[in-house]
């Protein structure tokens, strides 16, 4: 696909529109002291809905796991057994994500003074690691089955009807849960949505593999399991890479830093210069560091009030967990907290 000059111009103007919308949001925050959005009651209602989505997903995983165990025993298909083991790990992963959400909702300012926001990406990393490990185990078992001299794969008509009915039913339920969980913005609920979507794919692959093995050749069953496993490893490896960035302190996008700079510059007329604006990931939210320059002869009380009000204003932004504002009277010195370089 090729992009012409018209596409570049359209993209440029779209970026300008988004930038102006961000500036308008910062102006609203500066003038009103809050960002227009959901009320406290609406946020609490959303939190209850997110909790309900997690509980529904966990209950569905338990019921569907039992159904797939029956299908595995009835068919003996390696691909369906692998899909059933995946459902077993869904239960374990569901517990991990539930524990993560519970830990984040119970802050302890004495033992965890900076909060537990990193619990979210950490829980997702554990979840993804378990899923990737499952994929590797499936590949090894499938290869062993292909090189061994096992009995031929064959289903009776009754077995085939039960297996097809169960797998199609499980797939339809999971597809409904995909669309339901994707209506939320919470990262944990979105992880459930991704898991449900993965189950839809694996169920379809497992069903196709068992039917091909039954009607064409039995080696297609372990081949289907290997395809399923490779998809597992790829999907959750990408999830790991995405969440690692939120743990190592990756910088916010330039557009977001631009919004923060705009907010800081328009915070108070006494601000002479903005030395530094940093925003970096700390779990699912940002930590922000700002250095502003005030007049050298300004009273300490006035300077303190300007810095404190800016900190409070920054922390009103939903993406920011903590903000630190440093006050200075000049900006010609070297940056504070310069990193030491090894010799």
* Higher pLDDT, residue 41 or 291: 291
Range with lowest mean pLDDT among 22-31, 139-148, 230-239, 281-290: 22-31
* Higher pLDDT, residue 150 or 51: 51
3-class secondary-structure state, position 323 = strand
Query: pLDDT value at position 311?
Result: 92
Instruction: Summarize the confidence of residues 22-27 as an average pLDDT.
Output: 63
Query: pLDDT value at position 1?
Result: 46
Question: Where in the chain are all domains bearing CATH 3.30.70.1350?
Answer: 1-37+249-343
pTM above 0.95, yes or no: no
Helical spans, DSSP H, in the chain: 5-32, 40-75, 78-104, 119-147, 157-181, 187-215, 220-248, 254-265, 300-315
What are the tokens at 199? 């189950």
Question: How far is C-alpha 55 from the chain's CA centre?
Answer: 18
162 pLDDT more than 70: yes
What are the tokens at 98? 């539930």
Looking at every residue in the chain, the average pLDDT score rounds to 76
Instruction: Summarize the confidence of residues 276-285 as an average pLDDT.
Output: 84
267 pLDDT more than 90: no
Nearest Cα neighbor of 82 from 92, 72, 74, 90 is 72
3-class secondary-structure state, position 1 = coil
Query: pLDDT value at position 24?
Result: 63
Query: pLDDT value at position 37?
Result: 55
Query: pLDDT value at position 94?
Result: 67
Euclidean distance between the first and final Cα of the chain, in Å? 48
Q: Domain 40-246: which topology?
A: Alpha-lytic protease prodomain-like (1.20.1510)
Q: For the chain, what percent of residues have pLDDT higher than 90?
A: 10
180 pLDDT more than 80: yes
Query: pLDDT value at position 28?
Result: 63
Query: pLDDT value at position 342?
Result: 41
Q: What is the pLDDT of residues 213-236, one digit of tens each?
A: 778 777 777 888 788 778 777 777
Q: Report d(CA 254, CA 43) in Å as an integer.
A: 28
> What's domain 1-37+249-343's architecture?
2-Layer Sandwich (3.30)
Residues 6+ apart with CB under 8 A from 112: none
Query: pLDDT value at position 41?
Result: 67
31 exposure class (CB count in 10 Å sphere: 0-12, 13-18, 19+) = exposed
Residues 83, 201, 122, 45: is their CA dihedral positive or negative?
A: negative
Q: What is the pLDDT of residues 316-330, one digit of tens each?
A: 887 888 899 999 888
What are the tokens at 40? 């406290």
Q: By the 8 A CB rule, do 93 and 130 touch?
A: yes
Range with lowest mean pLDDT among 13-17, 251-255, 301-305: 13-17
Range with lowest mean pLDDT among 114-118, 119-123, 253-257, 284-288: 114-118
Query: pLDDT value at position 97?
Result: 65
The number of residues in the chain equals 343
Question: Where in the chain are all domains bearing CATH 1.20.1510.10?
Answer: 40-246
What are the tokens at 202? 């694996």
Q: Report d(CA 55, CA 98) in Å as an integer.
A: 9
Bridge partner list, 276: 291
Query: pLDDT value at position 29?
Result: 62
* Higher pLDDT, residue 37 or 211: 211
Q: By the 8 A CB rule, do 265 and 247 touch?
A: no
Range with lowest mean pLDDT among 8-12, 166-170, 194-198: 8-12
205 pLDDT more than 90: no
248 pLDDT more than 60: yes
141 pLDDT more than 50: yes
């Amino acid at each position: 696909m090729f992009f012409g000059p018209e596409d570049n111009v359209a993209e440029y103007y779209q970026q300008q529109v988004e930038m102006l919308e961000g500036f308008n949001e910062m102006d609203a925050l500066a003038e009103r002291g809050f960002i227009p959005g959901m009320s406290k009651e609406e946020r609490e209602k959303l939190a209850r809905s997110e909790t309900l989505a997690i509980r529904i997903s966990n209950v569905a995983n338990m019921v569907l796991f039992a159904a797939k165990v029956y299908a595995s025993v009835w068919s003996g298909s390696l691909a369906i057994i692998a899909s059933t083991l995946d459902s077993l790990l869904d239960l374990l992963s569901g517990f991990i994500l539930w524990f993560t959400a519970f830990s984040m909702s119970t802050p302890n300012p004495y033992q965890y003074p900076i909060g537990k926001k990193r619990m979210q990406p950490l829980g997702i990393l554990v979840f993804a690691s378990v899923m990737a490990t499952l994929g590797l185990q499936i590949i090894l078992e499938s290869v062993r089955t292909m090189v061994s001299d096992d009995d031929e794969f064959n289903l009776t008509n009754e077995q085939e009807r039960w297996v097809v009915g169960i797998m199609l039913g499980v797939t339809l339920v999971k597809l409904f849960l995909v669309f339901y969980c994707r209506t939320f913005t919470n990262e944990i609920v979105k992880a459930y949505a991704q898991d449900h979507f993965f189950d839809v794919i694996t169920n379809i692959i497992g069903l196709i593999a068992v039917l091909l093995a039954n009607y064409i050749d039995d080696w297609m069953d372990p081949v289907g399991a290997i395809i399923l496993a490779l998809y597992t490893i790829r999907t959750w490896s990408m999830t790991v890479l995405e969440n690692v960035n939120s743990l190592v302190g990756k910088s916010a996008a330039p557009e977001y830093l631009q919004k923060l700079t705009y907010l800081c510059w328009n915070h108070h007329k006494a601000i002479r210069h903005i030395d530094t604006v940093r925003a970096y990931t700390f779990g699912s939210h940002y930590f922000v560091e700002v250095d502003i320059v005030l007049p050298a002869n300004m009273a300490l009380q006035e300077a303190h009030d300007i810095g404190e009000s800016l900190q409070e204003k920054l922390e009103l932004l939903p993406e920011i967990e903590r903000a630190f504002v440093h006050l200075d009277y000049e900006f010609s010195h070297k940056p504070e907290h310069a990193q030491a370089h090894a010799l």
